Structure 1
Amino acid sequence: MTNIIDELKWRGAVNQVSDEENLSKLLDEKSVGVYCGTDPTGDSLHVGHLIPFMMLKRFQLAGHRAFILIGGGTGSIGDPSGRSTERTLQTMEQVHHNEEALTSQMKKLFGEDNITIVNNYDWLSKISLLDFLRDYGKLFNINTMLNKEVVASRLEVGISFTEFTYQILQAVDFHHLLLENDVQLQIGGADQWGNITAGIDLIHKMEGSDTQAFALTIPLMLKADGTKFGKSAGGAVWLDPEKTTPYEFYQFWLNQDDRDVVKYLKYFTFLGKEEIEELAKKVKTEPEKREAQRRLAEEVTEFVHGKEAVHQAEHISKALFSGEVKDLTADEIEQGFKNMPTVTVNKEPENIVEWLVESGIEKSKRQAREDVTNGAIYINGDRIKDLEFMIDPSKQFDGKFVIARRGKKRYFLGRVID
């Protein structure tokens, strides 16, 4: 069996690792407890958050015990990592709502085998101020804390005592999980190195310097053009289908640059080395086929949303490309036309020329008649050349939509109002 550290290195997924020799040896000897955490700062993860959790999934599939920590406690004070200003504190009600949403997402991604989801609110909320200062604060050296990159980068603009203590709380988490669940490895993004190693230092001070505890971080992911990965034209790409539809999610991966796609296949899919290397060859020899991008979109969409979402996204893509939209369901239209020009239309049947002008698709009746006569207008996938044609919204798509197309690719979504 391939050593998982070697595999992660091949995938370009290792930034820093503490005591690699002993960690590799431990991972070969037994099933190790591995954890990755996220704070409930929102009610959904986005694809940028997914990176370390994909690594955790690899440990899970390799037979190790995966732990996901939802930071109900740490999330209530805010991690200074990757920020130049203080976070706005959320209400505890909002934190708890986000905890529930993220827990549900994680269960969907990881299933039930070799996975445990914990919430650090359960133990951090029970530590009194005096116990915190006596039992933990005494073990942290201010000079060492100031030198951590996450704090040092904030000293010029200032950092509150609240955010300054964040690394202590994360260290307490690692110590707690070691004692309660035999968790010996924490993984996270590159910006978490200081927080994770603070946990290892705490463990060595409290449990002895020979206690085995390890850190592994994932590189910061940048696109080939140097910009940050994970954003689309509409903003963040969310895992929540209500925020980013499965079709939009699929399209995000399908539209990746040739220069990035092989890297993303290594990071975000569970395809083997042989298949990825074959796809990498096709990127060079047949880039126009975009086979690597299609495989990437299929794999990640299935992992996050399931097989049916992949079929649906492919069906929408094919329909929009070919113009054969009449077989789409109302749900597929909702997804595929989300970012297209939308107009509101009445549910009563109406003459096509009148309808085109009233909906704002055409500027004048003269232009509308000309476009219809010339065959430039399509309604629900059918070319209409009859000036007397009546548009009846009740005929298709559950009476919710009318799809108009002018020319080859100019789509408009008519959303029916009562």
Structure 2
Amino acid sequence: MALLDELRWRGMLHDAMPGTAEHLAANQPITGYIGFDPTAASLHIGNLATIMLLVHLQRAGHRPVALVGGATGMIGDPSGKSSERNLLDEETLRRNQDGIRQQLEKFLDFTPGPTAAVVVNNYDWFKEFGFLQFLRDVGKHLTVNYMMAKDSVKRRLGTADNDGSDAPEQRAEGLSFTEFSYQLLQGYDFLHLYKTLNCTLQMGGSDQWGNITTGTELIRRLAGSEAKAYALTCPLVTKADGSKFGKSESGNVWLSPELTSPYQFYQFWLNATDADAPRLIRVFTLLSEDEITALETEHAQAPHLRTLQKALAKDVTTRVHSAAEYEASVAASEILFGKGDLATLQSLDEKTLLSVFEGVPQLQVTRAQAASLTAADLLSEVTDYQIFSSKGEAKKMIQGGGVSLNRQKVSGADQQVGELPLVLDKYLVAQKGKKNYYLIALT
């Protein structure tokens, strides 16, 4: 399927310059790029939609270039922002760039060949570019009027019209010359890649249209009358209610397992609403149109089984982390629904275990205390948070079979805690009734 057709049915095509479809239909690979801002050592799922643009570009037989903005990251892109961002030092930016490259290698094929992915860093061509030289060679070719007409600038200055775009609304807080110059720098990136890699296409989110077309204009003016360059954008991914997509209650959902555990990552997709899941599965997976249609039909017949969400979570978690991490996340999820046993608990690493029980009461008791305690004592008297208000209440529920420790029913109120198997030689998972969990750590 042609790239634009693929993006169109997936809901990933917002705008494209005239001639883009014909350019992509040429009988040879073209080169297209997307820029990534290295403000953190990891990309997050807000970046994942644009990564998928590069994935589809390569799958269509073209060469993807990922530009890590080591230079422009020092400036800050005003697009989609309501205030000036903090500037990062070069050491931090380099560390962030290394992390981003490692993540991109999970999605793109770097095997040598005409469509092999390339990662570049714009600091490499800007670091020796003098200020006066830049003004003379680049700045003189675009007027202030042209730059002021960009929506990303007008929104920050409070002069934007309601143009119907899906860019976020912003309060006017002014715009420094530093950020105002960003579109010149990004435009020069496109010109540089055009000259050095024959890159003729820049892609990005819809809020990047102004910056991208600045690059096409520079190429038109500086690379000769025959030079042709193109722009393509995808819609910004939002939730069905119009709110921003990509964050959980604890903040950004990162691609790095150190910042967002695979279990939390899996849960984010699994918890997608029925209203959001059809769009998310088109944008973030590589499932075919027929496969997705079949899943939607199955989901409609029994929405409570969450067929779409499960397929979405499986595909994305496996590609971002691994099949093993996906299986571990599924097993961890089953614990909270009463399906996992002691062996399931024992199979988890500590980080996953703590992720599963994030938000539930986490208690501590010394090993010396635990050695002589009964189950009723542990649950009602010793910990700093009483699971039961009295020992009598604990005994009554234990006798009724409503209490378990590490997924095993407590056999009696006098059962010795010291005889119980521990998870990771440290933890006891207490369950009171069907839904009340407590994580007890022996210190």
Give the TM-score taking structure 1 as reference length.
0.95
Q: Distance in 2 between matches of 1:25 and 1:168?
A: 25
State the Cα deviation string for residues 300-338 of structure 1 (Å, max 9, x = none). Answer: 111101111111111112232125341122414233223
CA distance 1:169–1:393, shift in 2 (3 Å): farther
Q: What is aligned with 1:132?
A: 134
Equivalent of 1:222, from 220, 232, 238?
Answer: 238
The residue type paired with residue 318 of structure 1 is E
Equivalent of 1:391, from 417, 423, 431?
Answer: 417
Task: Report how far residue 230 of structure 1 moved.
Answer: 1.2
Q: Distance in 1 between matches of 2:400 and 2:442?
A: 27
Task: Report how far residue 257 of structure 1 moved.
Answer: 1.3
Q: What is aligned with 1:289?
A: 305
- SS across alignment from 1:258: coil
Q: Distance in 2 between matches of 1:323 and 1:385?
A: 20
State the Cα deviation string for residues 156-202 of structure 1 (Å, max 9, x = none). Answer: 42111100000011011111111111111111011100000000000
CA distance 1:243–1:345, shift in 2 (3 Å): farther
**1:149-228, aligned counterparts within 5 Å?**
149-155=151-157, 156-228=172-244
Kept after mapping to 2: 8 A contact 1:378/1:384:
yes
Unmatched segments (≥5 aa) in structure 1: none
CA distance 1:248–1:135, shift in 2 (3 Å): same
Task: Report how far residue 208 of structure 1 moved.
Answer: 2.1
The residue type paired with residue 59 of structure 1 is L
Deviates more, 1:332-341 or 1:110-119: 332-341
Q: Distance in 2 between matches of 1:372 and 1:25?
A: 72
Q: What is aligned with 1:341?
A: 361
Q: What is aligned with 1:10?
A: 9
Q: What is aligned with 2:281?
A: 265
- SS across alignment from 1:259: coil
Q: What is aligned with 2:37?
A: 39
Q: What is aligned with 2:168?
A: none
Task: Report how far residue 64 of structure 1 moved.
Answer: 1.1
Q: What is aligned with 1:411?
A: 437
Q: Distance in 1 between matches of 2:25 and 2:74?
A: 34
- SS across alignment from 2:437: strand
The residue type paired with residue 333 of structure 1 is L
State the Cα deviation string for residues 73-96 of structure 1 (Å, max 9, x = none). Answer: 000111111111111112222222
Task: Report how far residue 25 of structure 1 moved.
Answer: 3.8
Q: What is aligned with 1:64?
A: 62
- SS across alignment from 2:337: helix
The residue type paired with residue 15 of structure 2 is Q
**1:301-340, aligned counterparts within 5 Å?**
301-327=317-343, 328=345, 329-331=347-349, 332-340=352-360
Q: Distance in 1 between matches of 2:110 and 2:360?
A: 39
Kept after mapping to 2: 8 A contact 1:196/1:215:
yes
Q: Distance in 2 between matches of 1:228 and 1:355?
A: 44
- SS across alignment from 1:66: strand
The residue type paired with residue 391 of structure 1 is V
Pairing 1:48–2:46 present: yes
Q: Distance in 2 between matches of 1:190 and 1:247?
A: 31
Equivalent of 2:117, from 115, 118, 121?
Answer: 115
Task: Report how far residue 407 of structure 1 moved.
Answer: 0.8
Kept after mapping to 1: 8 A contact 2:238/2:244:
yes
Q: What is aligned with 1:73?
A: 71
Q: Distance in 2 between matches of 1:38 and 1:395?
A: 48
Unmatched segments (≥5 aa) in structure 2: 158-171
Kept after mapping to 1: 8 A contact 2:394/2:413:
no
The residue type paired with residue 175 of structure 1 is L
Q: Distance in 2 between matches of 1:32 and 1:85?
A: 36
| Aligned-pair Cα RMSD in Å | 1.7
Deviates more, 1:380-389 or 1:130-139: 380-389
Q: Distance in 1 between matches of 2:47 and 2:250?
A: 17
Q: What is aligned with 1:374?
A: 400
The residue type paired with residue 389 of structure 1 is Q
Q: Distance in 2 between matches of 1:256 and 1:22?
A: 34
The residue type paired with residue 185 of structure 2 is L
Q: What is aligned with 2:264?
A: 248
Equivalent of 1:358, from 375, 378, 382?
Answer: 382
The number of residue pairs the alignment matches comes to: 415
Kept after mapping to 1: 8 A contact 2:20/2:230:
no
Q: Distance in 2 between matches of 1:416 and 1:89?
A: 44
Q: What is aligned with 2:165?
A: none
Task: Report how far residue 111 of structure 1 moved.
Answer: 4.2
Kept after mapping to 1: 8 A contact 2:406/2:430:
yes
- SS across alignment from 1:96: helix
- SS across alignment from 2:35: strand
Q: Distance in 1 between matches of 2:99 and 2:441?
A: 30
Deviates more, 1:358-367 or 1:157-166: 358-367
Kept after mapping to 1: 8 A contact 2:29/2:62:
yes
Q: Distance in 1 between matches of 2:25 and 2:130?
A: 36
Kept after mapping to 2: 8 A contact 1:374/1:385:
no
Task: Report how far residue 262 of structure 1 moved.
Answer: 1.4
Deviates more, 1:191-200 or 1:320-329: 320-329
- SS across alignment from 1:399: coil
Deviates more, 1:353-362 or 1:374-383: 353-362
State the Cα deviation string for residues 276-312 of structure 1 (Å, max 9, x = none). Answer: 1111222322212211111111101111011111111
CA distance 1:89–1:375, shift in 2 (3 Å): same
Q: Distance in 2 between matches of 1:310 and 1:26?
A: 36
**1:139-150, aligned counterparts within 5 Å?**
139-150=141-152
Kept after mapping to 1: 8 A contact 2:3/2:24:
no
